Amino acid sequence: MILEALSYGFMQKALIAGIAVALICSFMGTFLVLRRYSLFGDGIAHVAFGGISVGLFLGVFPLWTAFIVSIFGGLGLQKLRQSTKISGDAAVAVVLVSGLAVGVILVSSSGGFSVDLFSFLFGSILLISNEDTMMILGISAGIITTLVILQKQFLHLTFNEEQAKLVGLRTTLLNYAFVVLASITVVTSMRLVGILLISALIVIPNITAMMFGKGFKKTVCISMSISVISVVSGILLSYSLNLAASGTIVIIAVGILVGTLILKSTGILRKVDIKTPSKITHNS
């Protein structure tokens, strides 16, 4: 069954693009989760919905308009957080509903939901073209290269922004670069799991990986492995059982998370405090 699935061109494209998306979402997601931007993906994906609607409304390739609108949405979100007293989650909510509202107005003006729009909302990895695959691969390579080059700076920025400033890092510039990269990651990944489930690929593999209690590089590797396993097995399982690929991928990622939690509770995995709400304050 698996060999038969792999012989199809659409499956090959889905797996190649899926693995690329799994890698960028998990790598970028490590920083997003640690910076408490977990819902950033959701916010930007909904802004992208507005961008896609603009593209469909104007008859332009919707992914390009989604990229442009999302990048501006991400920069706006960053500016909102930096220059006002609005908290991070509230800022995401403002940007999220704004993007959604624009999308709803344009969709209703152009006669309702189309097949194209549904494919962006729920993902359509099995339907992607050669051009889409090449575009996803190219953008993913660019994102991973940039993250590898800037990983130390982003890690320091994530750990403590003020301390990062004191070693000479240009924190404002890095923050904007981070938001632009994250926005591009979200829009690139929408074809795989769709706007509504994008946060799952960003958040779940990372919170699972952090339970292993390793250092940064090993955590990123574990997160990438979980993400790739979820995507590959999700695509193959969805083909075998005739299920929606996006939902299957997310359910497998959730399954790995639950399995890891069980391993931890039984003591097989080393006990590590996995609380996320409170921060450690080191009073030196």
Partner 1 sequence: MSVTSVLDVKDLTIHYDNHPAVDNISFDVKQGDCLGIVGPNGAGKTTLFRAILGLQPFSGNIKLFGFEDSKYDSIIPLIGYVPQRVTFEPNFPATVYDVVSMGLISDKRIVQGIKLIQECDCCWNRIYQSIKKKDDKITQALHTVGLESLRNRRIGELSGGELQRVFIAKALVKDPLLLILDEPVASVDVESQTKFYNVIKTINEQNNITVIWSSHDLDAISKYANRVACMNKKLFFHGEKEKFFSDKELLKTYTESSMQMHMHDHNHDVH
Asked if 229 contacts 15 with a C-beta cutoff of 8 angstroms, the reply is no
Q: Is the dihedral of CA 282, 260, 268, 217 positive or negative?
A: negative
Which residues, 6+ apart, have CB-to-CB distance to 15 below 8 Å? Answer: 6, 231, 232, 235
Least separation in angstroms between CB 226 and partner 1: 14
Least separation in angstroms between CB 251 and partner 1: 24
Least separation in angstroms between CB 47 and partner 1: 26
Nearer to partner 1, 67 or 178 (CB): 178
Least separation in angstroms between CB 283 and partner 1: 4
Nearer to partner 1, 70 or 208 (CB): 208
Asked if 34 contacts 151 with a C-beta cutoff of 8 angstroms, the reply is no
Q: Which residues of 231-256 are buried (b: 16+ CB within 10 A; e: fewer)?
A: bbbbbbebbeeeebbbbbbbbbbeeb
Task: Report CA 215 to chain centroid distance, whole Å.
Answer: 21
Nearer to partner 1, 7 or 278 (CB): 278
Nearer to partner 1, 237 or 261 (CB): 261
Residue in the structure block whose two tokens are 């409304």: 57
Least separation in angstroms between CB 128 and partner 1: 32
Nearer to partner 1, 132 or 161 (CB): 161
Q: Is the dihedral of CA 48, 139, 142, 64 positive or negative?
A: negative
* Residues found near partner 1 in the complex (CB under 8 A): 30, 34, 152-153, 155-156, 159-160, 162-170, 209-211, 213-216, 218-219, 272-276, 278-284
